Amino acid sequence: MTSVEREAVSRVTVGSSAGEYPVYVGCGGLDGIAGYLATHAEAHRYAIISDHTVAPLYGQRVMSACMSAGYGAAIYTFPAGEESKTRNSWSILTDELLGDGHGRDTVVIAVGGGVTGDLAGFVAATYLRGIPVVQVPTSYLAMIDASVGGKTGLDVRAGKNLVGAFHSPRCVIADPTVLGTLPESERAQGLVEAFKHGAILDAAYLDTLVADVPDLLAAAPAVAARAVLHSVRLKADVVTRDELEGGYRQILNFGHTLGHAIEAASDYQLGHGAAVAVGMLLETQLGEELGVTEAGTESGLRNALATLGFDASSCGHVDVEKALSYLLSDKKARSGRPRYVLLRRLGETLEGDGWSREVPDDAVRDVLSGLQ
Amino acid sequence: MTSVEREAVSRVTVGSSAGEYPVYVGCGGLDGIAGYLATHAEAHRYAIISDHTVAPLYGQRVMSACMSAGYGAAIYTFPAGEESKTRNSWSILTDELLGDGHGRDTVVIAVGGGVTGDLAGFVAATYLRGIPVVQVPTSYLAMIDASVGGKTGLDVRAGKNLVGAFHSPRCVIADPTVLGTLPESERAQGLVEAFKHGAILDAAYLDTLVADVPDLLAAAPAVAARAVLHSVRLKADVVTRDELEGGYRQILNFGHTLGHAIEAASDYQLGHGAAVAVGMLLETQLGEELGVTEAGTESGLRNALATLGFDASSCGHVDVEKALSYLLSDKKARSGRPRYVLLRRLGETLEGDGWSREVPDDAVRDVLSGLQ
């Protein structure tokens, strides 16, 4: 990769209470990592955290880049998969870093998908009361969604991401050339979050995504880079306006109230992307039935998601009672009642009380029952 | 307690990146808790966290105050003692809160000493990625030191407070009338931190403390309130200037580099206050031997601490090699080297590179060896 080609890397700035941080999006970004570290996260040593699948592919590459730039670096790995996003993995990783004597002058580099970003981010958030982290997302989901906004978290018995912290990265390096090694099913699931960005904020973007689906699923680098960049810009704008999810940021939960409930009701056998796709369809139907979402919005969204291979049947059989009981424990609940982000139309979210609202239980039961 | 008497409660404002918060210091403050909650931390429900010793004394009292003011409240307890400041206690408490369906509209109230503040603070810092906490310190150590500055933390195998987070409270309520139930040995240990504030910042305060020692050890409310208030003001000023311990805040680590090493070398059999008292004496001696601390400073500090019952023999036998090996893993280390806060004279700290400095290993070995 020459420096001319690397000029294709774009920089998006995200605001946070701890200061701004840049997200670099573009093909070849990973080759420039030593420079980004020198600029944004110079450290005595780097602790690279990656899973057993990604470490041999990209973790080692990041470590080599650090070392050839003269930095100390060590790699810490854990078994791939959501099963690793636990307090136990967090304990093991923090103990390993402590055992190796990492001090406050160490920076964590998270290299991997959403699980790695969440787990390594929580390690960094809590190690010695917080050390810096650089995020190197390697999946669509992590590039499009997880790497922007500073959320970190662990899954516990009661549900996913129920412990964690907001911990903004020093910088994010999203290089779509790495998406070629991602399994195709994960590509489709990750792209659901991009479709969500279109649905809540930008109808023209949703149209572009639909047109680009074949290239996106094939991880064609230039097309993937364009989508990642657009989603990062949209999300960065939301997160900058509302870092801690007090109000406007809630729009990013579109599709997630019912999506999480469906995912939980499946005992997490269902993929996150598929669950959110169905959640978006149901929440749009809910809005139409409540008369606040323009008629035809759900069918437009349904046509869009179908190009990715998702429809209302994507979640298989749903245990409605189990999903409803999960809703009452949803962490976005206020005063024990679940809240919903609803669309006005494709590309536009309804501003309610804090950008989300309660809806009658019967209406929720109706749309969930329609899945049977 | 009448409202006239309650006017004796003083308010100190602490700055933090998440906004300012007040520390209320004064006799009768606890009686006004419902009002402070309404003003600073109104919530759907309160989760009161306290240990088995303090819960029956003050946890229940806080819960009653919440409930008679019409708030929902529940109490969560754990076994008293430093042994509870673990990942395991944190897991149990977060699972209990999740089991009871606490949402983002719950506020944690930490009622107890330093362990409770650290543990409950870390629960709040990480529960659903962070919910508010109100600190109700019930020991000298917690009032004087732990409740100001937003530090939370857990002990792990490698040492104390090595995982944690900065999480500023919504408010702190320090009511010295509760100190009467604190064991006298803990009173002396906690007061060491007040002596530290005098040593690094305010020689006249150190003189006042020495004169007040009998009343302070007896927990005479008005005298205790005056000392707590002065220490809180001094510490609040430091923390406001440097929340995240990047520079000036390091002066609060005076006595702690060697104090932690001595504590660790004793396998934590030694009390924190005693270890810090000896650490302050040794670090002052170190400064004198390096020619940067005025001659006579150590003897002045020694005379002051003697009134509390501490001297160089307070730590008993110290395994010097074990203490030295601990120093190399000290979390304040930069580039693997321990750093020391040194005095110019009593009441004045030397400004070095970031208010702390490296010193030759031989000099450290010399002062530690003097303990034998």
| Residue A253 bears catalytic tag | yes
The whole-angstrom separation of Cα A4 and Cα A173 is 18
For the record, the structure tokens of B290 come out as: 């390096």
Other C-beta atoms within 10 Å of A151: how many? 23
Q: Is A23 helix (H, G, I), strand (E, B) or coil?
A: strand
Distance CA B297, CA B284 (A): 7
User: How far is it, in rounded angstroms, from Cα A135 to Cα A118?
Assistant: 10
Is the predicted pLDDT of residue A21 greater than 60, yes or no? yes
* Among candidates A99, A152, A329 on the partner chain, residue whose Cβ is nearest the Cβ of B158: A99
Give the residue, A158 or B288, on which the prediction is more confident: B288
A272 catalytic? Reply is yes
What pLDDT, on a 0 to 100 scale, did the predictor assign at position A12? 96
Q: Which residue has the tokens 């590309």?
A: A347
Query: Which residues of B are less than 8 Å from A156 in CB distance?
Result: 91, 94-95, 98
- Evaluate if residue A183 carries a pLDDT over 50: yes
CA distance A319 to chain B (A): 21
Q: Please, what is the end-to-end C-alpha distance for chain A in angstroms?
A: 52
According to the model, what pLDDT value does residue A244 have?
Answer: 63
pLDDT for res A106: 95
* Annotated catalytic residue B256: yes
Pairing relationship of beta strands B21-25 and B171-174 according to DSSP bridges: parallel
Contact A103 B129 (CB under 8 A): no
Percent of chain B with pLDDT over 70: 94
Residue B249 bears catalytic tag: yes
Q: Which residues pair with A112 in a beta bridge?
A: A137
Average pLDDT for A347-362: 88
Residue A362 has pLDDT above 80, yes or no: yes
pLDDT in tens, B330-359: 655 556 688 999 999 999 999 876 789 999
Q: What's the helix, strand, coil split of chain B in %, to 5?
A: 55, 15, 30
- Look up the pTM and report it: 0.93
Averaged pLDDT for residues B23-42 = 95
C-beta separation of A174 from A25 below 8 A: yes
The pLDDT of residue A3: 43
Assess whether pLDDT exceeds 60 at residue A171.
yes
State the burial class of residue B108 (Cβ atoms within 10 Å of its Cβ: 0-12, 13-18, 19+). buried
**Environment class of B70 (CB within 10 Å of its CB; exposed 0-12, middle 13-18, buried 19+):** exposed
Question: Distances from the Cα of B94 to the Cαs of A13, A80, A268, B122, B131, in angstroms?
Answer: 34, 25, 21, 10, 12
CA distances from B7 to A147, B1, B134 (A): 49, 10, 21
Q: What average pLDDT does range A45-73 have in this prediction? A: 95
Write down the ipTM of this complex.
0.91
DSSP per residue, B198-226: HHHH-HHHHHHHHHHHHHHHTT-HHHHHH
Q: What is the band of A79 on the pLDDT scale with cuts at 50, 70, 90?
A: very high
pLDDT of A354 over the 80 cut: no
Report how many helices (DSSP H) and strands (DSSP E) chain B contains, helices first. Answer: 15, 11
CB A345 within 8 A of CB A293: yes
What does the pLDDT look like over A285-303, one tens digit per residue?
999 999 999 999 999 999 9
- Minimal-distance CA residue of chain A relative to B328: A101
Structure tokens that stand for A283 in this block: 């929440």
Contact A33, A2 (CB under 8 A): no
**pLDDT averaged over every residue in chain B:** 92
Contact B156 A94 (CB under 8 A): yes
Of the partner residues A18, A87, A165, the one whose CB lies closest to the CB of residue B130:
A165
User: How far apart are the C-alpha atoms of B262 and B268, rounded to whole Å?
Assistant: 9
